Amino acid sequence: MLTTENVEDLLITHVGAIVDPGNAVLFNKVGSLFRDEFVGDQVAPSAWVGLESDTNTGTRSRLVMRETYAVLVYGETGTTNIPRQIHPLCEAVINAVHGKDWMADDDISPFMYEGRTMISHTTTRVGYKLRFTITHKGFIPVHF
């Protein structure tokens, strides 16, 4: 059965594997917003994953959930290292996640990119929240 933790782990694994053109890992830290010690932009570039919301789609008698996962991306301002600038970091995450179907399950849709919002800005750091959704059919136990 699919759990929120399973989905977070998939996102953490795949975002953590993103490399720059020189084949160096792009993020210094990728973690769970809820299971890891959150240090935010202190280790920029960094990314943090967590379930933002879920809702019953109401489209079928069987439970069908639309889950939105947030990926918080933090980067340094003023850096001349292009892959480590905030917009290339965000675009790398979008390209690594949007349309992917890592769960190989007919009851779960591929990740869909929904948009980004600036969440913080200081003289040295900037952060964006990227939102991705999946839709999946809920588990229904069968009793005999």
- End-to-end CA separation in angstroms for the chain: 20
Is residue 99 pLDDT above 90, yes or no?
A: yes
pLDDT given at position 104:
72
Is residue 1 pLDDT above 70, yes or no?
A: no
List pLDDT tens digits, range 39-75: 877 888 999 999 999 888 877 677 788 999 999 999 9
Which three-class secondary structure string do you get for 28-48?
A: CEEEECCCCCCCHHHHCCEEE
CATH topology of domain 4-137: STM4215-like (3.30.2000)
Rounded to the nearest 10°, the torsion over CA 115, 110, 19, 17 is 120
Question: Domain coordinates of the chain in residue numbers?
Answer: 4-137
pLDDT given at position 136:
81
Largest distance between two CA atoms of the chain: 64
Model-level pTM greater than 0.85?
A: yes
